[in-house]
Amino acid sequence: MTGKEPNKDLRSAVRLTPEKEADLTAQLLELADTDVKRCIQCGRCTANCPMAKHMDLVPSRMMWELKNGRASVVLAAGSPWDCLSCFACETRCPRGLNPAGVMEAARLLSIRPAGAPVLTAEDVAKLDPGMPQQAIVAAYRKFSK
Amino acid sequence: MQKIGVFVCWCGSNIAATVDVARVVAAAKGIPGVAFAADYKYMCSEQGQQLIADSVRQYGLNRIVVCSCSPRMHEKTFRACAERCGVNPYQVEIANIREQCAWILKDKEQATRKAIALMKAAVAKVQLDTPLQPGESTVVKRALVIGGGIAGIETALDIADAGYKVDIVEKEPSIGGKMAQLDKTFPTLDCSACILTPKMVDAAQHPNIRIFTYSEVEEVRGFVGQFEVDIRKKARSVKADICSGCGICTTKCPSRKADSEFDAGLRKRGAIYIPFAQAIPKVPVIDRAHCLKFQTGKCGVCSLVCPNKAIDYTQQDEIVTEQYGAIVLATGFDLLDLKHFGDLGWGRSKDIITSLQLERLTNAGGPTEGHLVCPSTGRQPKKVVIVSCVGSRDTSGRGKTYCSKICCMYNAKHAMYIREKYPDTDVTVFYIDVRTPGKGFDEFQRRAVEEYGVHYIRGLVGKVDVHKDGTLHLTASDLNSGRQLEMEPDLIVLAAAVTASPDARKIAGLVTASIDNDGFYVEAHPKLRPVESPTAGIFLSGMCQGPKDIPETVSQAGAAAVKAIGLLSKDKLLTNPCTARCNEAVCSGCQSCVKVCPYGAIEAVEKTVITLEGKKEQRSVAVVNEALCQGCGACTVACPSGAMDLKGFSNQEIMAEVDALCW
**Domain B337-499 is of which CATH architecture?**
3-Layer(bba) Sandwich (3.50)
A5–chain B Cβ distance below 8 A for any pair = no
Fold of B142-222+320-332+516-568: FAD/NAD(P)-binding domain (3.50.50)
Predicted local distance difference test score (pLDDT) of residue A2: 39
B201 DSSP β-pair partners: none
What's the mean pLDDT in B655-662? 93
Q: What are phi and psi of B614, to 5 degrees?
A: 85, 10
Q: B389: buried, middle or exposed (CB in 10 Å: 19+, 13-18, 0-12)?
A: buried
The residues spanned by each domain of chain A are 16-140
Among the ranges A5-9, A111-115, B33-37, which has the highest mean pLDDT value? Answer: B33-37
What's the mean pLDDT in B483-487? 94
Pairing of strands B498-500, B333-335: antiparallel
| B211: confidence class by pLDDT, cuts 50, 70, 90 | very high
Residue in B484, B485, B492 to test binding to A, most A beta-carbons within 10 Å: B484
pLDDT > 70: percent of chain B: 100
Q: Do B483 and A47 touch (CB under 8 A)?
A: no
Yes or no: say if B231 and B217 are a contact pair by the CB < 8 Å rule: yes
CA distances from B198 to A92, B202, B345 (A): 45, 6, 39
CA distances from B393 to A41, A95, B431, B516 (A): 11, 8, 12, 16
Q: What is the per-residue pLDDT across B49-94, written as a single tens digit (0 to 9) for each?
A: 999 999 999 999 999 999 999 998 899 999 999 999 999 999 999 9
What's the mean pLDDT in B358-372? 95
| B630: confidence class by pLDDT, cuts 50, 70, 90 | confident
**Domain A16-140 is of which CATH architecture?**
Orthogonal Bundle (1.10)
Predicted local distance difference test score (pLDDT) of residue B352: 97
Predicted local distance difference test score (pLDDT) of residue A3: 44
Predicted local distance difference test score (pLDDT) of residue B575: 85
Predicted local distance difference test score (pLDDT) of residue A141: 62
**Pick from B395, B477, B481: which is nearest to A47 by CB?**
B477
Residue B249 has pLDDT above 70, yes or no: yes
**Pick from B398, B458, B484: which is nearest to A58 by CB?**
B484
β strands within B467-583, DSSP E:
472-478, 483-487, 491-496, 498-500, 538-540, 572-574, 580-582
- Considering the four listed CATH numbers 3.30.70.3270, 3.40.50.1820, 3.40.50.300, 1.10.3720.10, the one that applies to the domain covering B580-647 is 3.30.70.3270
- Amino acid at site B124: A
In angstroms, the separation between the Cα of residue A42 and the nearest Cα of chain B is 5
Residue B243 has pLDDT above 60, yes or no: yes
Predicted local distance difference test score (pLDDT) of residue B519: 95
Q: What is the mean pLDDT of chain B?
A: 95
Higher pLDDT, A101 or A110: A101
CA B545 to chain centre: 4
CA distances from B57 to B3, B35, B36, B81, B233 (A): 12, 12, 11, 13, 60
* Lowest-confidence pick of A94-98, B44-48, B69-73, B489-493: B69-73
β strands within B287-425, DSSP E:
318-324, 326-329, 333-335, 352-354, 383-390
In angstroms, the separation between the Cα of residue B483 and the nearest Cα of chain A is 7
Predicted local distance difference test score (pLDDT) of residue A1: 36
Q: What is the mean pLDDT of chain A?
A: 84
- Non-local (6+) Cβ contacts of B260 within 8 A are B266, B267, B268, B269, B273, B275, B367
| A8: confidence class by pLDDT, cuts 50, 70, 90 | low
Predicted local distance difference test score (pLDDT) of residue B33: 94
Q: How many whole angstroms separate alpha carbon B651 and alpha carbon B407?
A: 52
Q: Is 1.10.1660 the CATH classification of the domain at B4-128?
A: no
Q: What is the per-residue pLDDT across B220-235, written as a single tens digit (0 to 9) for each?
A: 988 899 999 999 999 9
Predicted local distance difference test score (pLDDT) of residue B512: 86
Predicted local distance difference test score (pLDDT) of residue B521: 96
B322 DSSP β-pair partners: B229
B538 DSSP β-pair partners: B327
B75 DSSP β-pair partners: none
Q: How many whole angstroms separate alpha carbon B434 and alpha carbon B448?
A: 12
Predicted local distance difference test score (pLDDT) of residue B77: 94
| A144: confidence class by pLDDT, cuts 50, 70, 90 | very low
The residues spanned by each domain of chain B are 4-128, 142-222+320-332+516-568, 248-305, 337-499, 580-647
Q: B357: buried, middle or exposed (CB in 10 Å: 19+, 13-18, 0-12)?
A: buried
Q: Which helix (H) or strand (E) holds B616?
A: strand B616-624
